[in-house]
């Protein structure tokens, strides 16, 4: 779990940074001359420290190189969840909708008492299930951009090449938002778990498997 988490952090950071460098080559979503998909990042120039690759070809090389370890660790972690049955505690189901609303009210201070929960509360389940769904979309939209001729049917499914770029780009920002929220909640709710992810020890003891 620790290995896949930290490899994901490093590879995802590299993917995002190289993606920003790729985007600067043509910082719009639409064919030259339009029509365009609306975006507040039209003609954006991201700071040099946030970009990786130096130029378009360099960024593409980084992006294509890092996608393999990112997908690999994602599949390894998914296999780990399936093998030990942990996926059952993380999968968001329709019956969790009411609990997710109650938990959201608690976090927004619209409810005083903490809703009952199991190992993971419904909002956590929703977040973890959504992030895997978004990961699949990121891979599919990436393939639609990477090989638009070989995967023409996939590119068409997302509305064409520029539309696939658009969805791929915005999925990245959802990932960024999830990561920031995830880290904030770790510090706010269970800071000891961050130490456990670094050292392998939780509150002075080796973390249990349950």
Burial class (CB in 10 A: 0-12, 13-18, 19+), 62: buried
C-alpha distances in Å from residue 200, one per residue of 97, 135, 182, 194? 33, 26, 19, 9
Mean pLDDT of 196-205: 69
Which pLDDT does position 178 carry in this prediction? 87
pLDDT in tens, 106-165: 888 888 888 877 777 888 888 889 988 999 999 999 999 999 999 999 999 999 999 999
CA pseudo-torsion sign 147, 152, 155, 161 = positive
Residue 209 binned pLDDT confidence (cut-offs 50, 70, 90): very low
Rounded CA-CA distance 2/197 in Å is 6
Give me the percent of the chain exceeding a pLDDT of 90: 46
């Amino acid at each position: 779990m620790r290995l896949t988490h930290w490899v994901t952090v490093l590879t995802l950071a590299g993917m995002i940074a190289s993606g920003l460098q790729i985007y600067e080559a043509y910082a719009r979503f639409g064919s030259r001359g339009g029509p365009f998909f609306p975006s507040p990042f039209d003609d954006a120039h991201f700071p040099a420290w946030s970009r990786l690759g130096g130029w378009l070809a360099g960024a593409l090389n980084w992006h294509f190189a890092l996608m393999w370890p990112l997908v690999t660790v994602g599949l390894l972690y998914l296999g780990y969840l399936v093998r030990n049955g942990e996926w059952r505690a993380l999968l968001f189901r329709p019956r969790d909708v009411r609990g997710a609303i109650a938990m959201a009210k608690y976090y927004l201070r619209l409810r005083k008492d903490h809703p009952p929960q199991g190992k993971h509360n419904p909002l956590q389940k929703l977040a973890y299930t959504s992030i895997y769904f978004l990961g699949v979309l990121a891979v599919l939209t990436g393939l639609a951009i990477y090989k638009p001729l070989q995967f023409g049917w996939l590119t068409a499914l997302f509305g064409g090449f520029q539309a696939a770029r658009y969805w791929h780009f915005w999925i990245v920002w959802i990932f960024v938002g999830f990561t920031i929220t995830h880290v904030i909640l770790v510090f706010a709710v269970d800071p000891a778990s961050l130490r456990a992810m670094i050292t392998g020890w939780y509150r002075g003891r080796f973390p249990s498997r349950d």
